[in-house]
Amino acid sequence: MNEAIDIASLPSTSPGQVVLRVENLVTELRTTRGVVRAVDNVSFDLRAGETLGLVGESGSGKSLTCLSILRLLPEGIGRVAGGRVTCDGVDLVSLDEDAMRQYRGRRVSIILQDPMTSLNPVLTIGDQVGEGVRLYRGLKGKPLRDKIVDLLRRMRIPAPETRVDAYPHEMSGGMRQRVGGAIAVSGTPAVLIADEPTTALDATVQAQYLALLRDVQRREGLAILFVTHDFGIVANMCDRVAVMYAGRIVELAPVRELFDTPAHPYTEALLRSVPDLDVDVERLYSIEGQPPALHALPKGCAFAPRCPVAHGKCLAEPPPMFETGPGQRAACWKHEKNG
Ligand SMILES: Nc1ncnc2c1ncn2[C@@H]1O[C@H](COP(=O)(O)OP(=O)(O)OP(=O)(O)O)[C@@H](O)[C@H]1O
Ligand SMILES: [Mg+2]
């Protein structure tokens, strides 16, 4: 299957073109309580140059969605059980491992939530950032080293000329997170998946980091899937937002509409639960009640037990997605008349 894909010869993407299409993605996890669906029929498009935010309470399936796209699920525990993930017209779900490796980093990059697990402890920062530059930008020798130092500098790593020879354990958590960012943009990806990439950064560095991502995005037409808990970042970075609850996308909306006219009661609750957009709060949601356990999902809408407007049908039958406005969809029975 490898020979069939010549990634290097693929045309660059044009603005607005769909570069990643996720359709009915299902990810199963093997747990002590049996097999559960941690990602349940997730679908969205990602267009060149746009940023799609992915929000939702802890445990809603954001990271597993990201990991499923690149098939980086924990071995023996998670598996993609259904759906398609199309990039460059190729279904990543059905690729063999060798072919998949060509896509990772090269066409679809990821910044992992935990920067320590994404770095190799026995390789220098320069080696790790340099791999993508060498492979995909074709540089070597001094131009290669210069490019690596340049990437580190742009990621606001202090003293990049010396840090390039450092090992991950010699750096702070925040620095490692920025190195993760440098690695992710070191190749020439069409899609960047960023899973809470700024949690270990202070406010100033975070702002610089986000500005850098936007800069790379503008120049290279990168499509970004951006996981965050922070609605300030959503407002700042995202064009559209997908809201996840118990493994499903319950609302998908342009960012303005999400803030102004949220269509799902869960989105409303999330927005209400943010105390102050300017305050840096960790794990900030405080919606009453708990998300359901995946092995004991309610029969109807998973949010119904916590929903202020739930009625009989909500408890009986899971709602499909309803179109609620231009580019806005929500899985809530209150929109049934629109369906
Ligand atoms: N390695 C694993 N083994 C078992 N269960 C897991 C594993 N990783 C995730 N899960 C479970 O899958 C569900 C979704 O997890 P996921 O990490 O995608 O959540 P998340 O939305 O990224 O949360 P957070 O905001 O805390 O990062 C949770 O119920 C979680 O407990
Ligand atoms: Mg996560």
Structural domains in the chain, sorted by start: 2-7+18-107+189-338 (3.40.50.300)
Residue-level pLDDT at 132: 81
For residues 183 and 180, give the distance between their C-alpha atoms in angstroms, rounded to a whole number.
Answer: 5
For residues 62 and 56, give the distance between their C-alpha atoms in angstroms, rounded to a whole number.
Answer: 7
For residues 183 and 129, give the distance between their C-alpha atoms in angstroms, rounded to a whole number.
Answer: 5
Residue-level pLDDT at 2: 38
Q: Output 52 or 101, whichever has higher pLDDT.
A: 52
59 in contact with ligand 1, CB cutoff 6 A? yes
For residues 337 and 323, give the distance between their C-alpha atoms in angstroms, rounded to a whole number.
Answer: 10
| Alpha-helix residue ranges (DSSP H) falling in 124-262 | 125-137, 141-154, 160-163, 173-184, 203-220, 231-237, 255-260
118 pLDDT tier (thresholds 50, 70, 90)? confident
Residue-level pLDDT at 137: 75
Instruction: Tell me the C-alpha to C-alpha distance, in Å, between residue 80 and each of 21, 64, 104, 109, 132.
Output: 15, 10, 16, 19, 27
Residue-level pLDDT at 191: 95
Look at ligand 1, atom 9, and give the residue with the nearest C-alpha: 64
Residue of 245, 286, 246, 284 whose CA lies nearest to 267: 245
Q: What strand order describes the sheet that includes 18-31?
A: 34-47, 18-31, 78-87, 90-91
276 pLDDT tier (thresholds 50, 70, 90)? low
For residues 42 and 50, give the distance between their C-alpha atoms in angstroms, rounded to a whole number.
Answer: 19
pLDDT, tens digit, 9 for 90 and up, residues 303-339: 999 999 999 999 999 999 999 999 999 999 999 985 4
- DSSP assignment letter at 71: T
Ligand 1: which of 63, 117, 233 to mutate, most ligand atoms within 8 Å of CB? Answer: 63
Which numbered atom of ligand 1 lies nearest the CA of 57?
A: 25
Maximal CA-CA distance, the chain: 68
Q: Which amino acid is at 238?
A: C
* Helix or strand (DSSP H, E) at 316: helix 312-316
Residue-level pLDDT at 283: 47
Mean pLDDT of 221-250: 95
**Lowest-confidence range among 11-20, 44-53, 64-73?**
11-20
Give 64 Cα–ligand 1 centroid separation in angstroms. Answer: 6
**Tokens for 252?**
């998908």
Residue-level pLDDT at 89: 87
Instruction: Tell me the C-alpha to C-alpha distance, in Å, between residue 118 and each of 127, 132, 173, 220, 229.
Output: 14, 14, 12, 24, 20
**Tokens for 249?**
């996308």
Report yes or no: 282 and 299 within 8 Å, Cβ to Cβ. no
Classified as helix, coil or strand, 257 is helix
292 in contact with ligand 1, CB cutoff 6 A? no
Give 260 Cα–ligand 2 centroid separation in angstroms. Answer: 26
56 in contact with ligand 1, CB cutoff 6 A? yes
What average pLDDT is seen over the chain?
88
CA 88 vs. chain centroid, Å, equals: 19
Give 161 Cα–ligand 2 centroid separation in angstroms. Answer: 33
* Helix or strand (DSSP H, E) at 231: helix 231-237
Residue-level pLDDT at 4: 42
Give 3 Cα–ligand 1 centroid separation in angstroms. Answer: 35
Residue-level pLDDT at 3: 38
Classified as helix, coil or strand, 87 is strand
